Chain A
Amino acid sequence: MGKTLKFLIPLALFAGLVALLFFGLGTDPRKVPSPLVGKPAPTFSLPALGDPGRTVSNADLLGQVSLVNVWASWCYSCRAEHAQLMRLARELKEVQILGLNWKDTEADAKQMLRASGDPYRVSAFDPDNRAGIHWGVYGAPETFLVDSEGRICYKKIGPVEPGTWETELAPTIDLTTKKCKESRS
C-alpha cells in the first residue's frame, strides 16, 4: 500500500458508512421479519369468535390457501384495512380469509364485524394472546399467507392496502398447486 493511499482509508470507511446510512433511511427499524416464514404454521386451537362450541385449529388451514389476518376492534389500522379484506374476500375465490381476533373482547369484535362486514370464513378468538405468541404476533394488523399444506409463505406486517395482495402476497404463492413458491427466502 502506498504512503498516500493510507490516508484514503478514513474516507473509504466513511463512504461505506454513508452507504449504510442511506440504506437505513429507506428501512423501518420497527419491522421485525418473522422466522416462521417457510415453516409450518404453529399449532393452535382456539374457539371461534361468536361460536364457542366450534374450534378453529390447524385443520382449518389444510386443503386451501389461507390468509390469516390478525385483527382487533381497538386497532385503527385494522379498521383501515378492513375494506381491503372485504374486497379480497369477494374477489379471491381460491383463497379463504381466516381471522385471528387478538387481545380483544368478544362484544367489541362482534360489533365491529356487524358494523363493517365480516370478510372472514371464521375468526379464532384469542383474547389472552395464547396462539398469538406462537405465531410470533407482535401487533395488529398482521397477515400471514398460508399454503394448502399449512406452510407460511409470507408475513405482512401492518395493514393490507390496495395492491398489497398483488405485489406482496400473491408472488409468494403458486395458486394452481396451492403451494408456497420456494424461491422466496
Chain B
Amino acid sequence: MIHILLSRWRQGYRTLPYPKALPALPDRFRGRPKIHPERCAESYSGACRACAEACPTEAITPGPTGPRLDLGRCLFCPDCVEACPEGAIEYTQEHRLATRDRGDLVWDSTEEYRLATALDGEMKRLFGRSLKLRVVSAGGCNGCEVDVNVLGTLAWDLGRFGIQYVASPRHADGLLLCGPVTKNMALAVRKTYDAIPGPKLVIAVGACAIAGGPFFRQEEQLGGAASVVPVDLFIPGCPPHPLTILDGLLRLLGRIGTNGRDGTTPLDGGETSQK
C-alpha cells in the first residue's frame, strides 16, 4: 500500500488544464492548413495545379481564384506542401477543425472557417451537461479509436465535461463513429443507431468516417458515416489530435466559445481543480 501511495505522490496531478489553457503542441504538428494566396495567385492563374495533382485523396480542387481544400478528405500529410513550387501551402498549429456541416469542411483558406456551432433548444437542454456516447469502429485502422480512447484517461478526463463513453446503445445519447463504414459493418452501424433512443446525435471522427479516408476508392467501404446515418458533427484528421476531438465535442455542447482566436474560454463548467 505504501508503494502505491508513494507512486501516487511521485506521479503527481496530471490532468491538463484545458480548456483554461491550451496544452503545448509539437512544432511539427499539422493542424488546419493555410494557403497564402499572394504566393499562389500568379502560378495558379498560369494553370499550376501541383497541389491538387499531388493530393492522394483528391482533397484539393481548383476553385475560381485558388485551390479549395476539403478537410473532410484531407489526411494532413505533407504531399501538397512538398509539391507546391511557391511554398504557398503550410500547416498551422490551429487544432480547431470540427464543423456541423459537411459543406463547411470545403473551403479556400481566405474565407472564414465555419467551426461547429452549439446545439440549441431542446437538444442543448438534454445533452449540454451530460452526453453519453456509444463508440463504433466501422473499418477504422484503430488510429482514431486510439485518440478517442485517450480522452478517457486522466490526462484529459473527459468525465469532467459530463461526456462519457458507454457500453450499450440503450444508455447512449449518440453514436461516435470511426472508419469509412465497411460493407461488412453497415448493418451493425445501422442497428446500433436504431438502438439508441431519440433524440440522438451522430459524430463522425476522422477522414475515414467523413469521406472514406485512404480507402475512399475501395468498393468494400461506403465512404463514411453519412452513407448510413445522419451526421451532426464532423471532426477531420487522420487521426484527429485528441485536442481536436475534444474541441469539437465541447463546441457542439456549447461548452467553449466560438468568438475570436482565443475562443477557448469555458462558458460554463470545464473547470479543473488544480491542486
Q: Please determine whether chains A and B interact with each other in the same assembly.
A: no
Report B's interface with A, CB cutoff 8 A.
none
